[in-house]
A and B are shown apart, each in its own frame.
Chain A
Amino acid sequence: MDTKIRHTGRLRQTFVYLGKLFRMFIFRNDWKVMPMAAFISGLVSFVVGKKMNVSMEGTLRGAFAFSCICIWNGFFNSIQVICRERPIIKREHRGGLHMTSYVFAHMLYQAFLCSCQAAITILIMMVAKVKMPTVGYVFHPMADLFLTMFLITYAADMIALFISALVKNTTTAMTVVPFLLIFQLIFSGGFFSLTGNAYKMSYLTVSKWGLTALCAQGEYNSLPMTSLWTSMSKMRSLEIEGEKPVDEMLDFITASKRKNELMLQCGSNNQDKRYESSTANVLQCWRNLGLFIAGFALLSVILLEFIDLDRR
């Protein structure tokens, strides 16, 4: 046999597998993740969309909800893709498949899925009349929003790809997903106040960086805070020595048309440095999401290189 025979290299193999994945997109109904993204986005926009980028509380809630749906989309894009065809990959590895090509093909294909899902989510937000960011910190405001949503989805997607490379079957993969989601929700730092080591753990979540980027783009620190006004409104009937001081105060503020000023003042006193609207902050979030993407893709390749050790 001629020793100089060259077989298909990594780049060509990547395109062979990319072709397979796109055929699967069409023939195996992988396209269904698109309407699912639209449906979830519509649901979230309906519930939290109206106050997003309008008030501090609404923005935090909205940013949290939208980063969660991006994570959800990302997880479900790829949690089963490797483990469901693990024996096939093992066979192909035996026949000369390079794992770098296989994972890279998945990365390209998943990037396509995630960008479509990010675009669909934004489109649905616009249809649902969610207030969009008006300032672009790196590019155009819409491009910034798209990139943030894409990176959140893609980072979650790569985590799920890693899990899919780690486990041996789809049942285990689907069992792991809820734990991953809970971890992302609890440690995002948006809703549960985290201190000490728990706060440090939030650095390891996609949700924290996604939430931060969305809040920064939504001008979180420049928005009014409504919770104080809402709380005080509930205390209008409070009587002290036969008088209703809260009711009187709120009436005075309303009559003097200073309600918005009060809420803005309230907001400026409750600014959160983490959500600072600046180019540096947005870029830092993107960089960290990028690190998740590269790190988990690399780990997936390393894991798959050991696929030959799978027992029969």
Chain B
Amino acid sequence: MMDRIGALSLLAELLGMIGLWRIFTKCGRKGWHSLIPFLRRYEQGICARKESEGRAIVLLEIGMQAAFVATALFKRGSWQYLVSAMVLLIILIPLTIFSLRIYFGLCDSFGRSRLWVILWLLAEWLCAGIWGFVPGFRTIEGYPFDEESAAPEVSGLEVDLTAPGLSINIDRRTAVNFLKTKVLLKDIHMNIPLGHLVLLLGGSGAGKTTFLNAVTGYEKAKAVITLGDSNVYKEYNKMKYDIGFVPQQDLVRGSDTVYRTLSDAASLRLPADMKSEVRRSRINEVLDIFGLTPVKSSLVDKLSGGQRKRLSIAMEYISDPSLFILDEPDSGLDGVMARALFEKLRDIADSGKIVIVITHTPDRVADLFDDVIVVAKDVRRTGRLAYYGPIKEAYSFFGKNSMEEILMSINRREEGGEGRADDFVRKYAALAAGGEA
């Protein structure tokens, strides 16, 4: 009897594998991955566009198999057996939930009724067979893996690293996520002169923050970044004090006073041997620049949104960095306050610094910028350079009248955009190479 059950289980497993082979092929994945036990589940997650669930299931299955082996090894009734059985039971709950999510995802990817989930859950081998072999079961139009091969080619261009200012040569920035290497950024090259205020434009998830992190050396890419004579990556421990990065959120402790917050930031960022009078004078100077002197004794919690934002910027500016980067400094600010803030940044740039700013409302302050960097997702969802150059020329390059229209033109269709990112990536590569745009 047990032999018969074992044989049937094996047969079901084999049928499931063959069915999944076909499903993976339909999804543009490698079919033979269905033969590898844990990888099979991960690929199933990818096909269902539920990659994180696929990853979780692999880990849960490994845990479940280990617990299963443990229950077989230990004597029934022993504490080890009880612990293994308990772990097995606990793992089964999330495993079922994550499997459900993947089955729902498969139904969506194949445009089938969600009632199929019941059959997937009860007899995966049967469902895999039907979905794999019946020709009518195919992925819906616009399924992500159908169009991977058409991404723009690499430009092969590099900029002169000895030029003054900031030189960026990013070949690629990858992230290894579980079993897959994902290219987050590719082929971004530019020289930003000193004294320039630069707008960084791009849709959600285009890789703007990843780009900035790669430029500052915080998350290293396969790249060479130089700031003046210094190589940012090779001399990171020194350079990190010469690069100011203001994050999107106001990450400041509310229970400290403004002066104390700035003075502690100065302790961290300024040279240790700086005389206390010089340090105090620098703190007061920065308080003045950002209009925080009247509230210097106030608790951060009591500040307005604009004041808090200015404090967050001042904390980075205290070390007088050569490269100053701000991630959405105007979020939560009204037009007047935002304009005042960007005018301040213009002054900082005019003092010989490079200032790069991400903003989602660029048009109200577009006249203050010198250049714009446009980063767009290509068809493989990799961040690519679609344009770098003067603001005024950007309008003619994209054939648009505002930054928001430019953004709209590079955003993907499913995000409500025109989906022309790849065209502009190619056009810019041709322009940068000296060819016809």
Contacts and interface: CB of A to CB of B under 8 A. Distances in A.
Interface string B254-279: 11100010001101111111000000
Interface in A1-18: 1, 3, 5-9, 12-13, 16
Contacts of A24: 253, 255-256
Contact of B238 (A1, A27, A88, A308): A1
B252 A88 contact: yes
A85 B209 contact: no
A87 interface: yes
A95 B237 CA distance: 10
Interface string A73-89: 00000000000010110
A205 B168 CA distance: 54
Interface string B224-246: 00001010000100111110010
Given A16-B264, A87-B251, A95-B265, A5 B240 contact: no
A85 B251 CA distance: 8
A1 B219 CA distance: 22
B116 interface: no
B389 interface: no
Interface string B301-332: 00000000000000010000000000000000
B419 interface: no
B52 to A, nearest CB: 11
B166 to A, nearest CB: 14
Contacts of A28: 254-255
Given A92-B268, A96-B269, A3 B238 contact: yes
Given A12-B267, A27-B299, A96 B252 contact: no
B193 interface: no
Contacts of A257: none
Contacts of A196: 79
A8 B253 contact: no
Interface residues of A, number: 31
Interface size, B (range): 20 to 34
A8 B218 contact: no
Main secondary structure of the interface of B (DSSP, over half): loop
A88 B265 CA distance: 12
B297 to A, nearest CB: 12
A197 B251 contact: no
Nearest to B239: A1
B247 interface: yes
Contacts of B256: 20, 23-24, 27
Contact of B271 (A3, A6, A19, A308): A6
A7 B271 contact: yes
B249 interface: yes
A312 interface: yes
Contacts of A12: 267, 272
Nearest to A27: B255
Contact of B268 (A3, A8, A90, A197): A8
B272 A96 contact: no
Contacts of B265: 95
B328 to A, nearest CB: 12
Contacts of A19: 260, 264
A223 to B, nearest CB: 34
Contacts of B268: 7-8, 13, 16, 92, 95-97
Given A28-B255, A96-B240, A196-B79, A308 B218 contact: yes
B242 A1 contact: yes
A140 interface: no
B230 A7 contact: no
Contact of B241 (A5, A16, A20, A198): A5
B255 A1 contact: no
Contacts of A287: none
A274 interface: no
Nearest to B79: A197
Contacts of B255: 23-24, 27-28
Given A1-B238, A27-B255, A312-B209, A20 B264 contact: yes
Interface of A: 1, 3, 5-9, 12-13, 16, 19-20, 23-24, 27-28, 85, 87-88, 90-92, 94-97, 196-198, 308, 312
Given A6-B272, A20-B253, 15 more contacts: A1-B239, A1-B242, A5-B241, A6-B271, A7-B270, A16-B264, A20-B260, A24-B253, A27-B255, A27-B299, A87-B249, A91-B247, A91-B251, A95-B240, A96-B241
13 contacts: A1-B230, A5-B238, A5-B241, A6-B271, A7-B241, A20-B256, A27-B256, A85-B253, A87-B251, A91-B251, A94-B240, A308-B218, A312-B209
Minimum-distance CB pairs A-B, first 3: A28-B255, A27-B255, A88-B251
